[in-house]
Structure 1
């Protein structure tokens, strides 16, 4: 029976073993950008798995990173069931926990759609650490932060046209009162600023700063 674990792509570190990370996609699917992030995290010592969120409705989906690609990806994502997607992420976490290649804990790290799901997974109490990049549903569900017991890091762009700065402020206020949570806002950046194959979104300086913060956070909370 087909599931999210069928043909699950996994990147191994040079040693073949390490902590696990579930890398959760943007609406663009498993593209060159996400593959490069997975490869980089594996090189840093993590066992990285990337669940395919659209396997039920648009298997193998991957789009371009221009206006047409955004429109097509938005149409595909409109058919996405967030509850089923969360179950896929949690199933992938459990799969990594049972893998002989995984030593230590298992974290989740997601961008955009994946950023929302990384937060949802943390609220479900399953991962050992979570990193959420510009998840559009985070502010609306910030009450769930009270259920998060693992270390969690949020990233946003201050000029994000899809996530108002006032929504980011809501997350900032909640994080200030939650031990183990932190938030970083790249004020000059917009949405998907870390995506280096999307010229319409990428902000190199903000991306570099945010990724330095991310890797330092992972070294502290899920050391490879």
Structure 2
């Protein structure tokens, strides 16, 4: 860590890259909390503890609101839908534009959370997409366990206990829910972050009718599934994210060999999670550009 904890909002530049990489491993369950604290001890200097470092790197959801719940341009509600091949009943956050022209209904976008449930950051992304003119929905993959537990550490542990095929089917069922939802133009796209980015790629492989996808720094499906992808994909990656970026070249080759429509943006000098505005890994310039590109992609491919 380069500069001690202070009252200013910290960014990735305030931390050594090795520490950020270590946190990435912890955040994705590659190492335990105890192992993170033990290894982070080398940065615990000047009275700073490893526990304080972890707290500083972790999400601060007081920062997670770019669009207020009561914004006059949107109408949101928590709904439920059935996932017969998944975990059962799923709770989701559904947000619509407040003023919809019945002659020009909006498209729908599924928003898939990270590996920790439907936290305040993802709920805000749902609202942002609704404010941009889409019907947006973010399912909570932890619904069968009581929903997001208010802390990411608990959420990450809970999500890890779920049957992963059933969890994936919960998001597939969410996509089908939006397909059947009244008041849309019938086109459905998807975006997701980290774990959710991987789900978006798998949705594209599973549903030929998916209209567009924008996965953020997520894993990629097996090569044999690529021929089934029909949705144009905008892949958003972080240049410093060695773990995910190592998976990209073979997937890119499969997309090209199968003549698939895609675009890729690799944002320089940013880390995995750069879009999440609640942690020091957030990069405002890259996140805003990535979001502008996402909205433009959806407006292009989800238009009636």
Which interval holds the TM-score relative to the shorter structure?
A: 0.7 to 0.9
Give the equivalent residue in structure 2 for 1:213: 293
Please show how residues 1-224 of structure 1 align to structure 2 within 5 Å: 3=82, 6-16=90-100, 17-56=105-144, 58-64=145-151, 69=152, 71-125=153-207, 126-135=209-218, 137-138=219-220, 141-163=222-244, 165-177=245-257, 178-199=259-280, 201-223=281-303
Cα displacement string for residues 200-221 of structure 1 (whole angstroms, at most 9, x for unaligned residues): x211122122112211111111
Task: Please state whether the residue corresponding to 2:214 is helix, strand or coil.
Answer: strand
Question: For residues 192 and 230 of structure 2, what CA distance do their matches in structure 1 show?
Answer: 18
Question: For residues 129 and 161 of structure 2, what CA distance do their matches in structure 1 show?
Answer: 30
Question: For residues 63 and 154 of structure 1, what CA distance do their matches in structure 2 show?
Answer: 29
Structure (1 or 2) with the larger CA radius of gyration: 2
User: How far off is 1:32 after superposition?
Assistant: 2.0
Count of residue pairs brought into register by the alignment: 214
User: How far off is 1:155 after superposition?
Assistant: 1.0
- The structure-2 alpha-carbon separation of the partners of 1:82 and 1:179, relative to structure 1 and needing over 3 Å to count, comes to same
- The structure-2 alpha-carbon separation of the partners of 1:143 and 1:157, relative to structure 1 and needing over 3 Å to count, comes to farther
User: How far off is 1:8 after superposition?
Assistant: 2.7
Question: For residues 81 and 228 of structure 2, what CA distance do their matches in structure 1 show?
Answer: 31
User: How far off is 1:176 after superposition?
Assistant: 3.9
Question: For residues 279 and 294 of structure 2, what CA distance do their matches in structure 1 show?
Answer: 20
User: How far off is 1:97 after superposition?
Assistant: 1.9
- Structure 1: unaligned runs, 5 residues or longer: none
Question: For residues 166 and 90 of structure 1, what CA distance do their matches in structure 2 show?
Answer: 26
- Range with bigger deviation, 11-20 or 170-179: 170-179
Question: For residues 255 and 82 of structure 2, what CA distance do their matches in structure 1 show?
Answer: 35
Question: For residues 73 and 187 of structure 1, what CA distance do their matches in structure 2 show?
Answer: 30
Higher relative contact order (CA 8 A, sep 6+): 1
Alpha-carbon RMSD across the aligned residues, in angstroms, is: 2.4
Q: Which runs of 4+ in 1 moved over 3 A?
A: 1-7, 71-74, 171-178
- The structure-2 alpha-carbon separation of the partners of 1:193 and 1:129, relative to structure 1 and needing over 3 Å to count, comes to same
User: How far off is 1:167 after superposition?
Assistant: 2.3
For normalisation by structure 1, the TM-score amounts to 0.84
Question: For residues 119 and 83 of structure 1, what CA distance do their matches in structure 2 show?
Answer: 15
